Amino acid sequence: MPKAEQYSDEALVEGCLKNSRYEQELLYRKYFTGMMRMCMRYTHDQSVAMEIVNLGFLRVFKKLHTFSFNGSLEGWIRRLVFHSLSDYFKKSSKPVHFLDLEDRDAPVRESALNQLYLEDIMKLVDMLPDATREVFYLYAIEGYTHIEIAEKINISVGTSKWHLSNARQRLKQLIRIHYNHAG
């Protein structure tokens, strides 16, 4: 069986749109590991992560006809799986505690942090400066290490760490501003 990486995204999408189970499986195999890694950043339960990934891919196959190759297929798939992740936490009414935002000198009120859901946090992440947002996204969402981030976007490891620290500080400020009214 040829490896999924040997097929272009265009060929995989075309096959999937023709309802080819073979291309659907190849698309799934090609992007499964990255999506699973992303989901495991939020839940350390492999069966829950697998459920979320599978729901995400179901969403991908249902909406694949809307993909227009204006961006990367992987990014588009990641967004849909991320929406499934967000939906899972909303349905289970479990707030997401994936950020180490609390600090010794000025902790965020726990009641405000407990009421934040993934979607709320991602809206705040979108407010970060571009470079800081990119490093935060690669580290916290996609699970890259600082070494991998440095290589991927051509910065030093120290700069990657600075951007992550900066993102945490700014997110704490944004949480205080936008959610301090919470209980």
pLDDT band at 113 (very low <50, low <70, confident <90, very high): very low
| CATH code for the domain of 121 | 1.10.10.10
User: Measured between alpha carbons, how far is 117 from 7 in angstroms, rounded to an integer?
Assistant: 37
User: Measured between alpha carbons, how far is 22 from 7 in angstroms, rounded to an integer?
Assistant: 12
Number of structural domains (the chain) is 2
pLDDT per position as a tens digit, 30-43: 999 989 988 887 78
| CATH code for the domain of 25 | 1.10.1740.10
User: Measured between alpha carbons, how far is 68 from 124 in angstroms, rounded to an integer?
Assistant: 27
Q: Quick count: other Cβ atoms within 10 Å of Cβ 14?
A: 13
Determine the pLDDT at residue 171: 85
Determine the pLDDT at residue 61: 95
Please state, rounded to an integer, the average pLDDT across all residues of the chain: 80
User: Measured between alpha carbons, how far is 142 from 55 in angstroms, rounded to an integer?
Assistant: 18
Determine the pLDDT at residue 123: 78
Q: 139 lies in a domain?
A: yes
- Do residues 28 and 57 touch, judged by C-beta distance below 8 A? yes
Determine the pLDDT at residue 156: 94
Domain boundaries, position 49: 4-91
Q: 99 lies in a domain?
A: no
Say whether both 80 and 151 belong to one domain: no
Determine what percent of the chain is predicted with pLDDT higher than 70.
77
Q: 161 lies in a domain?
A: yes
Hey, what long-range contacts does 146-149 have (CB within 8 A, 24 or more apart)? none
Q: 173 lies in a domain?
A: yes
User: Measured between alpha carbons, how far is 74 from 34 in angstroms, rounded to an integer?
Assistant: 9
Average pLDDT over residues 24-30: 93
Looking at per-residue pLDDT, the higher value among 82 and 117 belongs to 82
Average pLDDT over residues 114-131: 73
Does this model's pTM top 0.75? My answer is no
Q: Considering 91, 122, 154, which residue would you say is the last residue of a domain? A: 91
Q: Considering 91, 121, 141, which residue would you say is the last residue of a domain? A: 91
Q: 97 lies in a domain?
A: no
User: Residues with Cβ < 8 Å from 13, sequence gap 6 or more?
Assistant: 27, 64, 67, 69, 73
Residue 136 token pair? 């935060």
Say whether both 19 and 74 belong to one domain: yes
pLDDT per position as a tens digit, 48-89: 999 999 999 999 999 999 988 887 888 889 889 988 888 887
